[in-house]
Amino acid sequence: MTRKTGSKTDKTARDWLAQAETLSEALPYMRRHSGKTIVIKYGGHAMGDAKLAPLFARDIVLLRQVGVNPVVVHGGGPQIGRMLERLKIQSRFIDGLRVTDRETVGVVEMVLAGTINKEIVSAINGQGGFAVGLSGKDGNLIRADKIRRTRRDPESNIEKVLDLGLVGEPTEINPHILAFFKESDITPVIAPIGTGPGGETLNINADAVAGAIASAVGAARLVMLTDVAGVMDGEGNLIPELTVKEARARIGDGTVLGGMIPKIETCLLAIEKGVEGAVIIDGRVPHALLLELFTEHGAGTMIRPD
């Protein structure tokens, strides 16, 4: 019996063929990443979109099913901002970092380690996974020091120390806790809250936490989900791959600007400390994580050692 060209049956057959080709392309990449740890910084539009959030959760479950060990570190700046507004607590920023007093850090911890963290855990578990939420305070996972920033007064040329309050940068990661989760097939979801030298709670940038954790566990990949396609050249075209030297040159010549600079610097630091590669991808694209890890073309900008 001959099928009619353009029939519904033909279309179904073509869809099946396309799916088979996709799986065939993905298989060698699944084998390559099996047994490896991938640290994923989850934030931006991808985390706040009701349609994208369950897709991300499903992708995390799939990574586990094919033998990859995902570690999720999440942000939550917009959600923190909205809660502070509701509580009529004014926010102030210095160099993109939220100045955090004791009142503010309580709200930050509540939103990050409470609401957001448990939403992500529930989403992954709801897709058939097994996730557990942590903050950096659990088991002394993240030790941190208070950040010090200086700024030179253009008139007097005097350098002033800026007080950011309870804002930290990671100094020590306890990898033994994460090793336990790897062996028990549990996906950790980590809120970027750390413990300071005096036991105080410190608010930490999620990118910095993801980079520090990737370095501590010897991750094969650090994946940064952002709200842009990746690193762009001077004409607005995506740069699919950069070496460490090339990335530094792009910062130096002004091609890379603004908020992309600290993201790239986090990637470079992680690579210098042993991470095999770091990639900046567009979290607004459905299944961007799978496209990056399991396809030849990837989904963003890969930064590799020289």
Query: According to the model, what pLDDT value does residue 3 have?
Result: 42
Place of tokens 């073309």: 297
- Cα–Cα distance measured from residue 6 to residue 16, given in angstroms and rounded to the nearest whole number: 15
In this structure, is residue 21 part of a structural domain?
Answer: no
In this structure, is residue 184 part of a structural domain?
Answer: yes
Query: According to the model, what pLDDT value does residue 17 have?
Result: 62
Which residue from 217, 259, 260 is spatially nearest to 242, judged by alpha carbons?
Answer: 260
Query: According to the model, what pLDDT value does residue 1 have?
Result: 39
In this structure, is residue 52 part of a structural domain?
Answer: yes
In this structure, is residue 18 part of a structural domain?
Answer: no
Read off the pLDDT of residues 67-88 as tens digits, 9 standing for 90 and up: 999 999 999 988 998 999 999 9
Query: According to the model, what pLDDT value does residue 229 have?
Result: 87
Query: According to the model, what pLDDT value does residue 78 have?
Result: 87
C-beta of residue 79 within 8 angstroms of C-beta of residue 67: no
User: What's the pTM value of the predicted model, to 2 decimals?
Assistant: 0.87
Percent of the chain residues past pLDDT 90, beyond the cut:
56
Print the domain residue range for 99.
34-304
In this structure, is residue 28 part of a structural domain?
Answer: no
SS3 162: strand
In this structure, is residue 141 part of a structural domain?
Answer: yes
DSSP string covering 28-89: HHHHHHTT-EEEEEE-HHHHH-TTHHHHHHHHHHHHHHTT-EEEEEE--HHHHHHHHHHTT-
Read off the pLDDT of residues 188-223 as tens digits, 9 standing for 90 and up: 999 999 999 999 999 999 999 999 999 999 999 999
Cβ neighbours of residue 161 closer than 8 Å, sequence gap 6 or more: 148, 149, 150
SS3 279: strand
The whole-chain average pLDDT of the chain stands at: 87
CATH code for position 281: 3.40.1160.10
Query: According to the model, what pLDDT value does residue 281 have?
Result: 93
CB burial of residue 177 (10 Å; 0-12, 13-18, 19+): middle
* Eight-state DSSP code of residue 143: E
Query: According to the model, what pLDDT value does residue 18 have?
Result: 60
Cβ neighbours of residue 121 closer than 8 Å, sequence gap 6 or more: 131, 132, 133, 189
Q: Running along the chain, 306 residues long, what does each successive block of 10 average in pLDDT?
A: 50 63 67 88 84 93 93 93 91 80 93 95 96 95 88 64 86 91 90 95 96 96 92 87 94 87 94 95 90 83 92
Please tell me the total count of domains within the chain: 1
